[in-house]
Structure 1
Amino acid sequence: MAAGPTLDDAVRSLGATAYQHDLRPEMSLADAQRAVGATLLWHLRVLAGWQPRSGAEAVRLLAAGFEIANTEEHLRTVGGAGLPGPARPYRLGTLATAWPRLARTASPPELRAALAASVWGDPGAETPAAVAIGMRATAAVRTAAALPEAARWAAGRMALLVGREVFVVGRRLTEPAARRAGRLLGSASARAASFADFRQHLPATARWALDGVDEATDLWRAEARWWDRLEQDGSELLHESRWGSGPVVGAVALLSTDAWRVRGALELAARGGGPPEVFDAAG
């Protein structure tokens, strides 16, 4: 798909795979990528349905990105910044954390108040950036606390999130988001004034994600490596023989990585095709 000459070719190719359900001819790139995400979510819902309570909760934590995406879209709509014909919310089912309550809000202040009254906590402001970063920081902290198998992923993801937000975008974290980031990265890193200081003060559980990245502008390479690590660790966890949530966490990691690669392949196809080596962080 990545090497395909057009997006339509890639979508037709994808129609013969497990991602075929929501695909249709002549889809836009955004719609095709969202269809891939919706298929991933459905697979996670099925997986959670076969689990005992602890396993279902693990899947819910790891699927938090879908509730965050719904909330971001809802905020753009109630804030008057939504594009015509906003995407339908992802159907979370039992993987929802607070989405039904969030979906009923009618303004940014009301949405912020609903977040503050839920496990997501107060994002510190009602802007789209504050809500997005605040929710992602909460998701990382909750995942690290509840799932030891995913703690390093969560810490590494937090490092990438803070590094991009502060040193690429140039936007400081809100106070609540900085506190949450500090729980995984340490207060010195969460409040560092330079990217070099940020990297230097990261704990080992998060520093691995930024190994070899000397400039904040190269964080995209670190993100690709994060996905590689997720895939490798997920494969190992999936084949564990000991009792626990490891195989479930591993399955979610592999399903998520596959969907990430497919979404990337669709974008490459939409740009005229590209070499599959683009998915290799070392390339």
Structure 2
Amino acid sequence: MGAGWVAGTTRARALRTRCLGREGIGELASSGTLDEALRHLAATAYRRDVTVGATAAEAQRAISSTLLWHLRVLAGWQPSAGARAVRALAAGFEISNVMHHLGGMFPDSHGPGPGAEPFHPAPHRLGALATAWPRLSRTRTAAELRTALASSSWGDPGGDSPAAIASGMRISAAVRLADAVPDAARWAAARVALQFGRETLVLGRRLPDVSLRRAARLLGPRAVASGAYADFRQALPPTASWLFDDVDEAADLWRAEGRWWHAVGQDGRELLRRSGFGPRPVVGAVALLSADAWRTRGALELAARGGGPKHWTVEVPDGPG
């Protein structure tokens, strides 16, 4: 094993201390106010971008930014194969940038809602974790954005509407993740299954043909062609079907989100515990950090609503996309 993997794995294992953990997340969730929660976060590994007086949306964005910073540092310690794995696992940050960029082109369709304060965060600073963001950020219309995506490793999303671009990028990211990081293949397949079920079986949207073909690579053609939830669930491969145990109706798919993050966190912990040096502990660190950040954002939301019990942990969300 090369020196690069030794250094990269050592750094990955050290990042466990950056997680808030179940106890810390429970304490955060029990905060009676948002300001109290922010003061609590200011004494944790998430203090880098969190400021007292921030809104809930700003603080949640800061938590994501702290996660991204840790991933950028982790990638910098890796040999080339490890850096590619971290980049594939961090693709959601580039998708977020693109969707905020696209929202500026369709302000009416991406508004904060009645009575809500507008929130226009600066793009995530991706550094070496960017796939095509510098070029994508220079586009000025949705058509230009689609063309730029088509000429990059993201591929053509099959349309230039916000929905087509979002679904196209998410499915493309999952396919690339499954190819590049075998230890994350079941996360990728299950995530695509959840997205496909929501968009086609709950919202009644038809995905562009190119996204259907990509989804079929992870889910199989029978699942993608299913018109009913029961048929879809039955046709899924084992890499994805585990997510839908006891989810008997399409309307209950929101429950699978928490199960997905729980599995990512558990798998990440096991990968990180394994002895030796190589990509698995690195993948595990990214998974564990990401799941911790997701739970921390959920706990912050609960604190902003008045808080919950001290031993509360985030396992089931309120249905975010």
**TM-score range for the pair, normalised by the shorter chain length:** over 0.9
Counterpart residue number, 1:12: 39
| Higher RCO structure (Cα 8 Å, ≥6 apart) | 2
1-side partners of 2:192 and 2:125: how far apart? 26
Point out the more displaced range, 30-39 or 188-197.
188-197
Q: Give runs of aligned pairs for residues 203-214 of structure 1, distance below 5 A.
A: 203-214=237-248
What is the deviation of 1:278?
5.3
The answer to whether the 8 Å contact 1:155/1:206 transfers is yes
Counterpart residue number, 1:65: 92
The answer on 1:182 being equivalent to 2:209 is no
1:2-42 Cα shifts (integer Å, max 9, x gaps): 12111111111111011111122221111110000000000
What is the deviation of 1:78?
2.7
Q: Give runs of aligned pairs for residues 146-157 of structure 1, distance below 5 A.
A: 146-157=180-191
2-side partners of 1:223 and 1:25: how far apart? 29
The answer to whether the 8 Å contact 1:120/1:138 transfers is yes
Counterpart residue number, 2:315: 280
2-side partners of 1:16 and 1:151: how far apart? 35
1-side partners of 2:222 and 2:79: how far apart? 39
Structure 1, unmatched stretches of 5+, are none
TM-score, length of structure 2 as denominator length? 0.84
Q: Give runs of aligned pairs for residues 106-145 of structure 1, distance below 5 A.
A: 106-145=140-179
1:207-246 Cα shifts (integer Å, max 9, x gaps): 0111110011222221111111111111111122244310
Counterpart residue number, 2:15: none
SS in 1 for 2:47: coil
Aligned length: 281
Counterpart residue number, 1:237: 271
Percent identity, aligned pairs only, is: 60
The answer to whether the 8 Å contact 1:79/1:108 transfers is no
Counterpart residue number, 1:220: 254
Counterpart residue number, 1:197: 231
TM-score, length of structure 1 as denominator length? 0.96
What is the deviation of 1:170?
2.0
2-side partners of 1:245 and 1:80: how far apart? 41
2-side partners of 1:184 and 1:87: how far apart? 33
2-side partners of 1:44 and 1:217: how far apart? 34
2-side partners of 1:252 and 1:93: how far apart? 17
1-side partners of 2:308 and 2:263: how far apart? 23
2-side partners of 1:191 and 1:174: how far apart? 13
Residue identity in the other structure for 1:43: H
2-side partners of 1:92 and 1:117: how far apart? 20
SS in 2 for 1:173: coil
What is the deviation of 1:134?
0.6
SS in 2 for 1:90: coil
Structure 2, unmatched stretches of 5+, are 1-27, 112-117, 317-321
Counterpart residue number, 2:114: none
What is the deviation of 1:80?
4.0
